[in-house]
A and B are shown apart, each in its own frame.
Chain A
Amino acid sequence: MKKFEEISAEVILKSQSGRSLADTDVITAENIDEFMPTAETISEAKRHLQELGFTVVQSGVTLTIMGKLERFKEVFKVEMTLEKDEQTGNVTVHSEGESVIPDSLKNVVENVVFLGPPELF
């Protein structure tokens, strides 16, 4: 892995309603408001994540962050390995076990998840 090659993750924030993305599979345009974090939660989460050495690159219902593999391991106490597809150059993140949310983020962050590569149809 090159020295500043970074990986990406989605940060699930605590919602204003108290409803969690973990509660249901049915997350649609009709009920998406129930899963929305407040502007204050978003801004506080961004600030803490940046202080922890991550870059927040995109913001939707969840936050997209980027950082070094070692930083993710250190902050979220999660065992991770990277698998690189030599043909496509795509890097897949394999994480084992649940991420542990550090105290500074516990009020605003619910979970941190890594996505696998999609299939092209």
Chain B
Amino acid sequence: MCTEQKKLTLVVIVIMHFVKLKGGDKTAEKEKEKEKQEKKEKSKSAPSLPPIVYAEVSVQSVGGVSLFETRELVTSRTVADFFSEHQLVKSAVSQLRKEGFEVLQVGPTTITIGARAEVYERVFKTKIVPEERDVIKEFNREDTATFLDCPDTAVPGLIDPSKSSLADILEGVALNEPVYYFASPIPPSVGYWHLDVPDDVGRALNVKGRATGRNVKVVMVDTGWYRHPFFDHHGFRANPVVLGPGASDPDHDEHGHGTGESANVFAAAPDVDFTMVKMSFVNTVGAFNTAVSLRPDIISCSWGYDIRTGPLSASMRTLAAAVANAVHKGIIVIFSAGNGHWAFPGQHPDVISAGGVFMGADGSLQATPYASGFESAIYPGRKVPDVCGLVGLPPKALYIMLPIEPECTIDRDLSDGTHPNGDETAPDDGWAAFSGTSAAAPQLAGVCALMKQVWPQLTPAKARDILKRTARDITKGNCSARTGGHPAVPGPDLATGHGLVDASQAKLLTLFVRMLSALPRYTSKLAEEVTKEEMQALEDMLLASVD
């Protein structure tokens, strides 16, 4: 078969696939409509128990008075009286697990657990009853919410453990109540050039088409995740936060970094199956392995260590082993290349290393001196980054307006001063402009999710290869002076690697490679021979055929 015939065959195959996708989308729309209808019907009926009930368990307090019976106010002065003996806490955790509860967090005063209502009813020999009560939600919206109660105690939401096998250890179990979040879902207006999520970032990454990341599992390991109204407003969904070793308080992101940067994932892949692993900063390996244990398709990490030369310390080798093991299992792992750092694991040979490109108000693209670019002295021949996401300019890269927990560290820290030294937002509004290669990594994760949706068997090595081959070459600007200030030139370079990721082209090439892999008589070599111009021509033909 001559090359022209091969290309024609490819076009036919791809058109057939697109037509199939189009049909598939109609089915998805019908299902969505059905889901909506069911939800509507459900809201009219009596309150029901949630699938998982969360609660705070209080172990016998050292002060001898129960947290639920004290007449004293629980303040910083008195809180030590409500701590519990270490052995007792350990024993409670073990018994709760044995009884079928998931232990989500062990805090100084309580243990956070989750289980189906039946588990609570069996263990504590009680009944959990849902009640619909009037509440005021965000923006003074009057509504109702489901509260859980246990009718055999006087204190609302309290379970008495005295009839259970844990009677000697526990003093009470408090059922969690619904929480509402009060930050605005709309970003504040500021007078300097910046990008908003999801639209500006999505456009700059050339996100278009039907893939949305549906059913692709992305896990971020970061400072936590706060359910900011921005996410609900855009229909972005996230699973409950999973705590890494030593981390606590799954409902809060006291720093803000994890919440903000996660919006970059959704900017590229709005329907992704997202989970945050909150790390405690005392053990990044444990947190990373917690992410691996969730069996995701993609792990995105916007952190690292500044390591210019080897040999690696023993602890860094455990991190290298954790990363290698994840990639060995087929997980696509993305790490930031660093902001002037010699980032590790950003330079590990198995990761997709995320660098930075700045898009100006006129749409021009350049390497940003805020992001790292270097050749690794630890791994011979390893060039960092592989490809780039969107990152701002020095001094602080205050560039992408991101949602964060109101009054968190970032909200407070960046509010001081005018741009480019401050982000000109309030210290308590739940919004801040920031970026760094921390933003680039989740943007790449979102693009990988689109590729993975198109081809679930996509391997980490192939994903990196496709991102590189379809990236937009950057020929202006320099990377961070701290890592050599390398210039961006035509073709791959140390400033931006292969350039700014192009979601649409990456998705299209993934589709080609998938088609080729399904046809034994073709080899992936053929896909490598297709040039960008040829792909564009094929894409135009495809779009024309489905319109």
A residues engaging B (CB < 8 A)? 2-10, 12, 21-22, 25-29, 31-33, 35, 55, 57-62, 64, 66, 68, 87-93, 111, 113-121
B281 touching A118 by the CB < 8 A rule? Answer: yes
**Residues of chain B in range 307-351 having any CB-CB distance to chain A below 8 Å:** 310-315, 317-322, 324-325, 327-328, 336-339, 341, 343, 346, 348-350
Contact of A29 among B286, B324, B343 (CB under 8 A): B324
A60 touching B325 by the CB < 8 A rule? Answer: yes
Decide yes or no whether B91 CB sits under 8 A from chain A: no
- Inside 8 A of A2's CB, which chain B residues have their CB? 83, 108
B86 touching A4 by the CB < 8 A rule? Answer: yes
Given A8-B245, A119-B304, A120-B303, residue A21 in contact with residue B321 (CB < 8 A): yes
5 closest A-B pairs (Cβ-Cβ)?
Answer: A64-B286, A60-B289, A8-B283, A121-B336, A29-B327
- Inside 8 A of A32's CB, which chain B residues have their CB? 321, 324-325, 328
B223 touching A120 by the CB < 8 A rule? Answer: yes
B312 touching A25 by the CB < 8 A rule? Answer: yes
B residues engaging A (CB < 8 A)? 83-86, 89-90, 108, 222-223, 245-246, 254-255, 257, 280-286, 288-290, 292-293, 302-306, 310-315, 317-322, 324-325, 327-328, 336-339, 341, 343, 346, 348-350, 378-379, 409, 436-438, 441, 460
A26 and B382 alpha carbons, distance in the complex (Å)? 11
Given A22-B317, A28-B349, residue A10 in contact with residue B283 (CB < 8 A): yes
A118 touching B304 by the CB < 8 A rule? Answer: yes
Residue from A22, A26, A35, A114 having most chain B Cβ neighbours under 10 A: A26
- Inside 8 A of A8's CB, which chain B residues have their CB? 245-246, 280, 282-283, 286
- Inside 8 A of A119's CB, which chain B residues have their CB? 303-306, 341
Judged by DSSP, the binding face of B is mixed
A113 and B484 alpha carbons, distance in the complex (Å)? 32
- Inside 8 A of B310's CB, which chain A residues have their CB? 25
Nearest CB of B to A90, in Å: 4
Contact of B281 among A59, A117, A121 (CB under 8 A): A117
A25 touching B315 by the CB < 8 A rule? Answer: no
B314 touching A60 by the CB < 8 A rule? Answer: no
B305 touching A118 by the CB < 8 A rule? Answer: yes
Residue from B284, B324, B327, B460 having most chain A Cβ neighbours under 10 A: B324
A27 touching B321 by the CB < 8 A rule? Answer: yes
A118 and B285 alpha carbons, distance in the complex (Å)? 11
A72 and B81 alpha carbons, distance in the complex (Å)? 26
Contact of A60 among B222, B280, B285, B302 (CB under 8 A): B285
Which chain B residue lies CB-closest to A12? B318
